[in-house]
A and B are shown apart, each in its own frame.
Chain A
Amino acid sequence: MKPLLKVSGLNAWYGESHILHGVDLTVGEGEMVTLLGRNGVGKTTTLRSIMGIVRKRKGEISFTGADLMKVPLHRVAPHGLGFIPEERGIFSTLSVHENLLLPPAVAKGGMTIDEIFELFPNLYERRSSPGTKLSGGEQQMLAIARILRTGVRMMLLDEPTEGLAPVIVQRIGDVLKTLKQRGMTVLLVEQNFRFASKVADRFYLMDHGQMVGEFPVSELSARMDTLHDVLGV
């Protein structure tokens, strides 16, 4: 089966710093794949390079058959790719409602506003507040919700559970499971592999800007030793 996203030999730089040294990964349609790795190995850079936020890149990025390397940043989303940054990026000068409606729809099949408020009832209650008056967990919900509205086929999620209380983390896990049921493809960056193990199908292990391992969720317990080594936990 042809993968939805195929990355080969991706090298990327922040200025003079060479961060990614030939990253290879694939994500199939409907899969939830997680990138694991310590801080600073290039997980976020991988997502940002795929999306096109990092422009100094070499290699191949193919999404739904299209070569993303040549696409300017503002034309990537219409291919069906959405990005939720680590810092969530909720706009303080916009209300929750405006934040939600900001990303334009790129395809049919996105969640309707009603469906979104059903999935995230607390967002409905807070819809007129300024975006940044929300709690961390609510902001994460909002960040996910506004991408869902646009009808993208695949989401790049950067550390969704970082800094959130266990109760909220659980909630986010539920949201991801719901998304999976709806057929959303997700590439997830997570340090909390226990959380990831509950939702992901497959894992990539990253170190020093490269992939050093790949395994399905079924092999997770068997790989614990390797994980402890590479992740340093």
Chain B
Amino acid sequence: MQAFLGQLLIGLINGSFYALLSLGLAIIFGLLRVINFAHGAQYMLGAFFAWLLLSYFGLGYWPALVIAPIAVGLVGAVIERTMLRRLYTLDPLYGLLFTFGLALTIEGTFRYLYGASGQPYATPAALAGGTNLGFMFLPIYRGWVIVFSLVVCIGTWLVIEKTKLGSYLRAATENPVLVQSFGINVPFLLTLTYALGAALAALAGVLAAPIYQVSPLMGSNIIIVVFAVVVVGGMGSIMGAIVTGYLLGVAEGLTKVFYPEASNIVIFVIMAIVLLIRPAGLFGRDA
């Protein structure tokens, strides 16, 4: 029972990261029609920024949680503004290939600078230790990750569905030219969206740093799984991306209990099954 709950917890944690990352991917894809392969690299950048801030500036977890996403978001904005936006009129595969190249460049650079093995990052003092919930022992940081990511996901959803800015985003996703003719600066909106997506990835990275090791390879390991998550969930729906992320994380965690050998491919298997019976994805709104 302990093992079961323990794995469920891990599943929820992984699910938190899957949800955050597929949320960012879905937002970027929705408006820019680009699959941001560099999303994993931006996640890695977030974790590395946190580590660098600590190692070189003595800035801990809490400042990192704010600074890293902003920094990575800014880098993303520059990339979008100078390079990515030239690809919008082309076949979407070029966006994928460009961001793939970007991911390789970022990962390669950090692998060159810091080697392939990971650096440890300490759990922040305020969140260290654990509590005994009676039916299981809950490490506080793990609980924090789940709660915080849930808050961020729902908060993002609220911004998109319920605010004016969100309505600009949703409208621009449907008909960017018409929205521009209304006088709304859609090009800026595009930059902002990419930056926001990158920042979300980086935020996930900071959250991940104390749990997984901070390694240049952490991005590419996770991005392919996140791709499978968005195929299952469909990218047309923000809430769909979030829910699917948590669901598949839990599925992965449970598989580890009952059939551990399959745990690293279970999400792909689920993807294959969903493709067979419901090709549009669980929440598919787009083709």
Contact = CB atoms under 8 A, between A and B. Distances in A.
Interface string B158-191: 0000001001101101110111111111110000
B181 A51 contact: yes
Contact of A93 (B171, B177, B180): B171
A77 B167 CA distance: 18
Nearest to A143: B178
A173 interface: no
Given A53-B177, A102-B182, A74 B170 contact: no
Interface in A150-203: 150
Given A89-B175, A91-B174, A74 B167 contact: no
B241 to A, nearest CB: 15
Contact of A76 (B175, B178, B181): B181
A98 B167 contact: yes
For this complex, into which size category does the number of interface residues on chain B fall?
Answer: 10 to 19
A104 B183 contact: yes
Nearest to B161: A93
Nearest to B174: A91
A71 to B, nearest CB: 11
Contacts of B177: 53, 73
Nearest to B178: A89
A166 to B, nearest CB: 28
Interface in B133-180: 164, 167-168, 170-171, 173-175, 177-180
A73 B174 contact: no
Interface in B237-285: none
Contacts of A52: 181
Given A85-B178, A92-B174, A75 B183 contact: yes
Nearest to A81: B181
A102 B163 CA distance: 11
Interface in A27-55: 51-53
A77 B175 contact: no
Nearest to B30: A93
Interface in A65-101: 73-78, 83, 85, 89, 91-94, 98, 101
Interface in A15-36: none
B175 A91 contact: yes
B174 A74 contact: no
B173 A103 contact: no
Contacts of B173: 93
Contact of A74 (B164, B171, B185): B185
Output the residue of B164, B173, B174 with the most chain A CB within 10 A.
Answer: B174
Contacts of B174: 91-93
A158 to B, nearest CB: 12
Nearest to B187: A74
A227 interface: no
A74 B186 contact: yes
B182 A150 contact: yes
Given A53-B177, A85-B178, A101-B164, A93 B183 contact: no
B235 to A, nearest CB: 14
A106 interface: yes
Contacts of B185: 74
Contacts of A101: 164, 167
The 7 closest A-B pairs by CB, nearest first: A77-B183, A103-B182, A93-B170, A89-B178, A74-B180, A73-B180, A91-B171
8 contacts: A53-B181, A74-B184, A74-B187, A77-B183, A92-B174, A93-B173, A102-B171, A104-B184
Interface of B: 164, 167-168, 170-171, 173-175, 177-187
Given A76-B181, A85-B178, 18 more contacts: A73-B177, A73-B181, A74-B187, A77-B181, A78-B183, A89-B178, A91-B174, A92-B174, A93-B171, A94-B167, A101-B164, A101-B167, A102-B182, A104-B182, A104-B183, A106-B183, A150-B182, A150-B183
